Amino acid sequence: MKKLLLSLLLMVALPAWAAPFVVADVTAGVAACGVKVDGVAKADAVATGLLCKHDLAGIATGSHNITMTAKTAADPVWGTQESAPSAPFTLVVPAPPTVPSSLRLTP
């Protein structure tokens, strides 16, 4: 029973550390944030509480600029409203280490 409980706990806890996230503070009434990475629109980040959080899993090595816009929920009269883009956030994803070479056996 303890092993089952531990394995369930690990299955739930490990994905939470999967990748870095870019996070933005938003005001009340914001339902989501539009995310652009290097000028290319990505999936909207849902606002939870007063934060929008976008997962950076799979982002390529190199320098990147990320911007976000705040979006309201769809209003029956005005529709969805969107803010101007944020100032760009720049990050540099480091390259992975080089591949090991000269594999051999030693006595």
The answer to whether 7 touches 35, Cβ cutoff 8 Å, is no
Buried (b) or exposed (e) across 35-68, using 16+ Cβ within 10 A? Answer: bbbeeeeeebbebeeeebebebeebeeeebebbb
Total domains in the chain come to: 1
Host domain of residue 28: 19-93
Give domain status of residue 63, yes or no.
yes
Give domain status of residue 1, yes or no.
no
Give domain status of residue 13, yes or no.
no
Q: How many CB atoms lie within 10 A of CB 20?
A: 13
DSSP 30-92: EEEEEEEETTEE-PPEEEETTEEEEE-TTPPSEEEEEEEEEEEPPBTTTB--BPPPPPPEEEE
Give domain status of residue 12, yes or no.
no
Per-residue pLDDT of the chain (107 residues), as tens digits, is 666 555 655 555 555 556 899 999 999 999 999 999 999 999 999 999 999 999 999 899 999 999 999 999 988 898 999 999 999 999 999 999 999 999 999 98
Give domain status of residue 4, yes or no.
no
> Residue 28 maps to which CATH number?
2.60.40
